[in-house]
Amino acid sequence: MTRFALTLEFDGTPFMGLQRQPHGPSVQQCVEEAAHAVTGEDVTLYSAGRTDTGVHALAMRSHLDIEKDITPFRLLEALNAHLRPSPIAVTHCEAVDEEWHARFSCIGRRYLYRIANRRAPLTLDKNRAWQVAQELDAEAMHRAAQALVGQHDFTTFRSVHCQAQSPVKTLDRLDVERVGEEIHIHAAARSFLHHQVRSMVGCLKLVGQGVWREEQVAEALEARDRQALGFNAPPHGLYFVEATYPEQD
């Protein structure tokens, strides 16, 4: 048996999320079915993150175990052939030690949230960015975001369906920058709570609009109460960007 590490790129629009779901298509289901078509084996895909419905990935790290004697290059080519026309691509494939695990070996995860800050309708970026027509103050959003960096109880920014044992997480980075017509929000941590990034973005958007004072983000955090949340940003602006592992340090 060989353990193969995969890097997946996907458009999350048609999927119920990455993880296999009983009520609709998932990225995991598509990759597992493609692997079965290639090898004849029933395999399970494990991934660094669990993206929600409509969330995208630029480089999701995953792995699967295969008995068939096959090279990484041929597996990559065969998987991509069988994944068509689903909007999923295997961009990298390599054999790894059987102790390596896409989820449990991961020591860092990074996300990008894109806000299209313009009045004109989106064409090329429809379902790939959150359109906000009102002018946003990216500098105010960035200043407010810094209150969330560090170790905190993120109960306010946690979904009621979150299965994490503790609401305490350490946020390593939350930066906001304007890039032309877009606002980019970069978030990095060892791990995140369910809906944490989208919840933080929703509050920062209120700051950018002037609806919230900058200090209200810190006040919402301190409340440790979901009722203090502004709202969740929609999923289609969110991208899983990178998973890091000890050998990458």
CATH of the domain at 200: 3.30.70.660
Query: Annotated catalytic, 52?
Result: yes
Residue 147 shares a structural domain with residue 65: no
- Mean pLDDT per segment of 10 residues, for the chain of length 249 residues? 97 95 92 97 95 96 97 98 97 96 97 98 97 98 98 94 89 98 98 96 98 97 94 96 83
Residue 150 shares a structural domain with residue 225: yes
Query: Under a CB-based contact definition with an 8 Å cutoff, are residues 48 and 96 in contact?
Result: no
pLDDT of residue 249: 43
Rounded to whole angstroms, the Cα distance separating 46 from 29 reads 11
Q: Is residue 152 part of a domain?
A: yes
Q: Is residue 103 part of a domain?
A: no
pTM above 0.75, yes or no: yes
Q: Is residue 118 part of a domain?
A: yes
Residue 158 shares a structural domain with residue 192: yes
Catalytic residue chosen out of the listed positions 42, 52, 97, 137:
52
* Cα 77 to Cα 35, 43, 145, distances in angstroms: 11, 18, 42
Q: Give the CATH number of the domain where residue 28 resides.
A: 3.30.70.580
Rounded to whole angstroms, the Cα distance separating 93 from 6 reads 5
Q: Which of 92, 125, 142 is nearest to 243 (CA)?
A: 92
Residue 22 shares a structural domain with residue 115: no
Residue 149 shares a structural domain with residue 195: yes
pLDDT of residue 160: 84
Domain count, the chain: 2
Residue 133 shares a structural domain with residue 191: yes
Q: Which residues span the domain enclosing 241?
A: 108-248
Residue 112 shares a structural domain with residue 44: no
Residue 168 shares a structural domain with residue 234: yes
Residue 130 shares a structural domain with residue 179: yes
pLDDT of residue 248: 54
Tokens of 194: 């369910």
Backbone φ/ψ region at 117: left (φ over 0), alpha (ψ -120 to 50), beta: beta
